[in-house]
Amino acid sequence: MYVTYALYSKKYNKIYIGYTADLIDRYYSHNIHSTKGYTKNFRPWIVVYVEFHELKSTAMQRENQLKSSRGRDFIRKQVELVGLISVS
């Protein structure tokens, strides 16, 4: 099972989109363990969206869709629904 996920940094108003086979380990990597990379600079991260996929290839395809302009707009709306931001 694979997960396509979106993280949100309220402090920096940033979104990160990725996929993994182990969301809990990946979450800790983004928030605690990683010493380099994009997500290290915008901690803390909150999981705001997840989708489950049977195949790695479909999880990767969905990640790419969510990274598009329309996909990021969709994620911003999900963040708004969670109540973390107000989208105009």
Gap between the Cα atoms of 23 and 50, Å rounded: 9
Q: For position 11, which CATH number holds?
A: 3.40.1440
Residue 77, domain member (yes or no): yes
DSSP state at residue 87: -
- Please state, for a pLDDT cut of 90, what percent of the chain lies above it: 83
- What's the count of helices (H) and strands (E) in the chain, helices before strands? 3, 3
Domain that holds residue 59: 2-82
Residue 38, domain member (yes or no): yes
- Token pair listed for 69: 């302009």
Residue 88, domain member (yes or no): no
Domain count, the chain: 1
Residue 36, domain member (yes or no): yes
Q: Judge if pTM exceeds 0.85.
A: yes
Mean pLDDT, to the nearest integer, of 36-56? 95
